[in-house]
Copies of this chain bind each other. A is one copy, B any other.
Amino acid sequence: MAVRAAVAGASGYAGGEALRLLLAHPEVEIGALTGNANAGQRLGTLQPHLLPLADRVLAPTTAEVLGGHDVVFLALPHGQSAAVAEQLGPDVLVVDMGADFRLADPADWERFYGSPHAGTWPYGLPELPGGRAALEGTRRIAVPGCYPTAVSLALFPAYAAGLAEPEAVIVAASGTSGAGKAAKPHLLGSEVMGSMSPYGVGGVHRHTPEMIQNLSGAAGEPVAVSFTPTLAPMPRGILATCSARARAGVTAESVRAAYEKTFADEPFVRLLPEGQWPATASVYGSNAVQVQVALDEATHRIIAISAIDNLTKGTAGGAVQSMNIALGLPEELGLTTIGVAP
């Protein structure tokens, strides 16, 4: 019996990626597709790569349209998910790809988003300690941010194993789709091709408290995070370069052993063989996470680097993976670890 899924915000990048994955999911039947400004338009115009849905027309985002589905994926602007979710009732699985329900601490939310906190839902990063248990049977999922996904998977094993001091320095490069489909001058192709530039420097990026939450949770103590995101001239992908000072006595071998143990049975995370480093091209369009870790002997810092596709594992793929767990389906269903390369 098919799972009937609706997507609210189907004209944007997160919504489009959710549809791309759901179309390939053997247990999902795609129901309503909604938009706001784009309601009434053909999906073939808005998402020309989704040929099987080309003739579908976007409906307005209302509880009436979204009702009657087993799962509703929300790809809405920040602050709009709570109202929609309430109207859908407790039996519908609501998968929020926005930020509204990610943070546990209302003060964090208010400081970074400047609005009242909507609440906290089970967090859709199954690879974290206790992550799967939190998702089994749930009817509400907060899909992690793309940067926190990449960063947490790169660093949490070091913190969970007590190997790293509680200050992490993170520089991550993201493809432009992470900034969404709203047309802004600095995101024009003419501006981004050939250019690397930072933004949100100095701890002000909204994904920072989410990283702190995840790493602190793994460490069992507060972890400080210095996070600098940069915009890279590519459509997709995040490369997160993370480091933290190793605690005294930590060796390259103990670091590697901890990562090997952590990821041994993970279906989507691959610790690469020593000497091979992640590349975003290798995970293009896939739900895979490539991770590598090293100990810089001179500075005694652990360097952990991960590559993900920000729209797949970083957004819609993570959402489908968590949906599978919530519904009791095989976790890997409809997802792949095979990238589109070159």
Contacts and interface: CB of A to CB of B under 8 A. Distances in A.
A299 to B, nearest CB: 4
A236 interface: yes
Interface in A174-211: 175-177, 179, 181-185, 187-199, 201-203, 208
A342 B44 CA distance: 14
A280 B194 contact: yes
A335 B224 CA distance: 43
Contact of A187 (B24, B188, B282, B295): B188
A239 interface: yes
B342 A196 contact: no
A234 B225 CA distance: 29
A299 B167 CA distance: 8
Nearest to A202: B294
Contact of A49 (B225, B241, B283): B283
A3 interface: no
Contacts of A321: none
Contacts of A285: 285, 340
Contacts of A278: 197-198
A299 B45 CA distance: 29
A216 interface: no
B273 A44 contact: yes
B49 A299 contact: no
A169 interface: yes
Interface in A277-318: 277-286, 288, 290, 292, 294-299, 301, 303, 305, 307
A118 interface: no
A65 interface: no
Nearest to A19: B338
A190 B234 CA distance: 7
B201 A336 contact: no
A36 to B, nearest CB: 15
9 pairs of A and B residues whose beta carbons are closest in the complex: A49-B339, A195-B281, A189-B192, A197-B279, A171-B171, A49-B341, A183-B183, A196-B239, A285-B340
Given A49-B338, A193-B235, A285-B340, 6 more contacts: A13-B342, A169-B301, A176-B189, A189-B191, A194-B284, A196-B279
